[in-house]
Amino acid sequence: MSREYIARDPRTGRPLTKGRSKDETDIRLLLPPEGAWRVVPESEIISLADGTKGTLELPRTSGGGFARRKDGILALHRVAESQTESAHSVLLECLDDDDPKIRIIGLSSLPSFSLKKHEGLLQCLSDRLLDDDSGVREEAMIALKKMAPIFPSGCEIMLRRELRDIRKAHRDNAFDALKMASESWTETGCLHIDELIREEDEDLRRRASKILRVLAPRSSAEVWDLIGWCLEDQDNEVRRNAARTLNSLANSEPRIAAILVEVAMSDDDSGVRKSAIGALKKLDMQSPRVTKMILDGARDRDYNLRKACIDLLTIVLSGDELRETAAELLKQETRADLRKRLSSLSVDIEMEGSEDEKNRFLAVLENPTMSEEDAPDVVQEAERPMGEHHKQELGRPESEGSP
């Protein structure tokens, strides 16, 4: 039986807690490309993979044709449990074969077989990433991306080396692998980003800060620290990448987001401030800290920040306090559109507005209603017979009625 793999933090040796187990891994993502290996009979896989059999005729019911050594190597993960050890030995030999083509095929088979037995395979993968043959290295990079999310601590040394490789292809692939691993294992992402943002190489810090968007929704003090440190980086791009996480952070951790938004709003870079404005609108407007940020932002030299904060004044202030604040801001505002907005906020329309504006605050005149006590009198008056006086008026001769 193969020993169960346990992902561990290389700094502490403790098992990683946030991630997927091997049982939760979708094996379809690890399989090699489609081919005849799918229909090679289980009993023939090892003899075909180790070269004992040169070719194997496939039954017509499976599509016919011939399977070769390549197909046997790719099918190694399909062997019965009782043949796992033998298949493991064959794969290790293939990964160290003198023929680059066999090494490439072995690397293509490695991710899917690793779920059966991983011992020794990760070291072989590390060696093949340093292979002299470019085709072998390319296949090894593909295997690294597949395996990093499954074996984060096992791939930790490889990733650290590949992330700092001066060759663009290797570095690009390594950061893709780190992003995929970070989606499954928060601790792994934090470990590498923590190291990378301390590097002097700006490219490393920029690439690492981009992965923070994957980690931002996770409730972790380590993630918050990383975002905060990146917001203080000397490189504008690093700070922008960190600021882009604030929107997501405002949804999951508004209290922490408020602290980081305050830092970003005071940044000299317009891109950082733009992201801070977007996150500011999602914060709790009843918080005194947020209110102060809005009031300070309404006085900022940046037009976009001032405009956004002035638009939020009606949410955090009201009544005399709103009018007094708007009047104070109006004294130093120079932009015409913002002056117009502040002027409207500084006036008590109910008292100083036009006649039409004042009328809007008047209570609507309700239709007069008749009390139940008065209602019968009105009905009786309407139904009472015509009085004598009225009859006399109607019966008076025309001559008497004339003036």
**Which residues are CB-neighbours of 85 under 8 A, at least 6 positions away?**
117
Residue with tokens 């001066």: 166
Task: Give me the mean pLDDT over the 265-272 stretch.
Answer: 93
Lookup: tokens for 297: 């932002």
Task: Give me the mean pLDDT over the 285-290 stretch.
Answer: 89
CA distance 93 to 112: 17
Task: Give residue 6's region: left, alpha or beta (phi > 0; psi -120 to 50).
Answer: beta
Which pLDDT band, with edges at 50, 70 and 90, does 25 fall under? low
Task: Give the pLDDT score at 313.
Answer: 92
Neighbours of 258 (CB within 10 A): 20
Q: Answer whether residue 361 shows pLDDT above 50.
A: no
**DSSP annotation of 28:** G
Which pLDDT band, with edges at 50, 70 and 90, does 219 fall under? confident
Task: Give the pLDDT score at 14.
Answer: 53
Q: Answer whether residue 1 shows pLDDT above 70.
A: no
Would you call 162 exposed, middle or buried from its count of C-beta atoms within 10 A (0-12, 13-18, 19+)? buried
Task: Give the pLDDT score at 22.
Answer: 47
Task: Give me the mean pLDDT over the 301-320 stretch.
Answer: 91
Beta bridge partners of 8: 15
Task: Give me the mean pLDDT over the 139-160 stretch.
Answer: 95
Task: Give the pLDDT score at 29.
Answer: 84
Q: Answer whether residue 363 shows pLDDT above 80.
A: no
Which pLDDT band, with edges at 50, 70 and 90, does 248 fall under? very high
Task: Give me the mean pLDDT over the 92-100 stretch.
Answer: 97
CA distance 130 to 128: 5
Name the amino acid, one letter, at 207. Answer: R
Task: Give the pLDDT score at 400.
Answer: 44
CA distance 389 to 369: 32
Sign of the Cα torsion 240, 244, 247, 250 reads negative
| Whether the Cβ atoms of residue 330 and residue 346 lie closer than 8 Å to each other | yes
Neighbours of 344 (CB within 10 A): 11
The full set of domain ranges for the chain reads 1-147
Task: Give the pLDDT score at 81.
Answer: 93
Q: Answer whether residue 143 shows pLDDT above 70.
A: yes
Task: Give the pLDDT score at 179.
Answer: 96
Which pLDDT band, with edges at 50, 70 and 90, does 346 fall under? confident
Nearest Cα residue to 115 out of 22, 42, 29, 32: 22
Which pLDDT band, with edges at 50, 70 and 90, does 351 fall under? very low
| pLDDT, averaged across the chain | 85
Task: Give the pLDDT score at 190.
Answer: 95
CA distance 302 to 199: 32
Task: Give the pLDDT score at 365.
Answer: 52
Task: Give the pLDDT score at 24.
Answer: 55
Nearest 5 degrees, angle CA 96-CA 31-CA 139?
Answer: 40
Beta bridge partners of 56: 67
For residues 384 and 141, which has the higher predicted lDDT (pLDDT)? 141
Would you call 150 exposed, middle or buried from its count of C-beta atoms within 10 A (0-12, 13-18, 19+)? buried
Candidate from 3-17, 57-71, 104-118, 343-357 with smallest mean pLDDT: 3-17
| Whether the Cβ atoms of residue 163 and residue 171 lie closer than 8 Å to each other | yes
Task: Give the pLDDT score at 286.
Answer: 86
Task: Give the pLDDT score at 140.
Answer: 97
